[in-house]
């Protein structure tokens, strides 16, 4: 058993170093704890759904179509949780186990638009002329109603023969890092699902008729990730709405299956909206497990 150090014998610098080390260890343990809690919530939620499907009363059992819609929501929630876990910057001791499905190549018959990304200056910092030695190409799938087309992002590689410096323009920021959908395609999926009430399985069929097979599970992952990416916008909109002098509010009771319990209890989905006479037309939704303030 290690004997604790005598703090009275340590210099001020040693005490500061010891305090910094302890704070780092505490932060790492807090991150690991948050990771474990997120994973536990996800697994508990999935287990409760599976138990209800398998052992629920006949009146509570779902048909194939209802299960399909529920699975879409589960896949989106799981993708959102995994995205949040990645943003926690976990330590190497607690890596995130994220599935990496094999991506099907985009159909070659789709029309393609080439977008070139080259350095703003064709001279190196040392003053010499840059020479192009190659390029990297990444394809993004875009969609306008009824028609797919592919954006080919071509990033040239330029090298300075004098100082052997490699220069390459950065890839534009994407909503889903290293993913194939453009912002336009993601907007189409979200608007069709939430504004037009078009389930993902129907969108899968529509996209297949347009020439691209996008699995429903992939669409659900896109929806979940977009939910996380849009959260700062939702928070900003909530702050603006709360500054309005008058708001309309409405509640909708929803049954909630709490983890570890065999029955549901009443939860609430609240809607807050500006009045018809307000300059800002906006609505936000807030889920609450009860009516407590």
**Token digits of residue 134:** 């190659």
> H or E stretch including 31?
helix 12-55
**pLDDT over threshold 70, residue 71:** no
**pLDDT over threshold 60, residue 6:** yes
Tell me what percent of the residues of the chain surpass a pLDDT of 90. Answer: 31
The 10s digit of each residue's pLDDT in 228-255 is 999 999 999 999 998 999 999 999 998 8
Give the integer Cα–Cα distance in Å for 52 and 67: 11
The residue whose two tokens read 């001020």 is 12
> Residue 213 has what pLDDT?
92
**Which of 26-35, 115-124, 142-151, 177-186 bottoms out in mean pLDDT, i.e. has the lowest?**
26-35
Within 8 A by CB and 6+ apart from 274, the residues are: 241, 244, 246, 247, 248, 280, 281, 282, 283
- What mean pLDDT do residues 81-92 have? 65
Give the integer Cα–Cα distance in Å for 110 and 140: 12
> Residue 58 has what pLDDT?
52
């Amino acid at each position: 058993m290690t004997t604790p150090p005598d703090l009275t014998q340590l210099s001020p610098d040693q005490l500061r170093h010891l305090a910094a080390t302890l704070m780092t260890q505490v932060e790492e343990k807090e991150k690991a704890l948050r990771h474990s809690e997120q994973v536990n919530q996800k697994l508990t939620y999935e287990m409760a759904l599976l138990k209800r499907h398998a052992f629920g009363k006949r009146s509570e059992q779902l048909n194939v179509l209802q299960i399909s819609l529920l699975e879409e929501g589960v896949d989106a929630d799981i993708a959102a949780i995994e995205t949040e876990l990645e943003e926690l910057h976990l330590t190497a001791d607690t890596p995130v186990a994220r599935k990496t499905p094999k991506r099907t190549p985009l159909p070659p018959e789709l029309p393609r638009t080439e977008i070139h990304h080259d350095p703003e200056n064709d001279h190196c910092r040392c003053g010499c002329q840059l020479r192009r030695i190659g390029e990297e190409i990444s394809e993004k799938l875009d969609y306008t109603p009824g028609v797919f087309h592919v954006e080919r992002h071509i990033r040239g590689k330029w090298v300075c023969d004098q100082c052997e410096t490699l220069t390459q323009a950065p890839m534009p920021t994407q909503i889903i890092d290293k993913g194939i959908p453009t912002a336009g395609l993601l907007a189409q999926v979200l608007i069709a699902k939430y504004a037009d009430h078009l389930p993902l399985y129907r969108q899968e069929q529509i996209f297949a008729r347009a020439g691209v097979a996008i699995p429903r599970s992939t669409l659900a992952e896109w929806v979940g990730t977009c939910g996380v990416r849009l959260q700062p916008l939702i928070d900003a909109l909530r702050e603006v709405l709360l500054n309005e002098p008058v708001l309309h509010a409405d509640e909708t009771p929803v049954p909630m299956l709490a983890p570890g319990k065999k029955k549901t209890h009443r939860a609430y989905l609240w809607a807050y909206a500006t009045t018809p006479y307000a300059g800002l037309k906006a609505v936000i939704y807030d889920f609450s497990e009860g009516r407590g303030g």
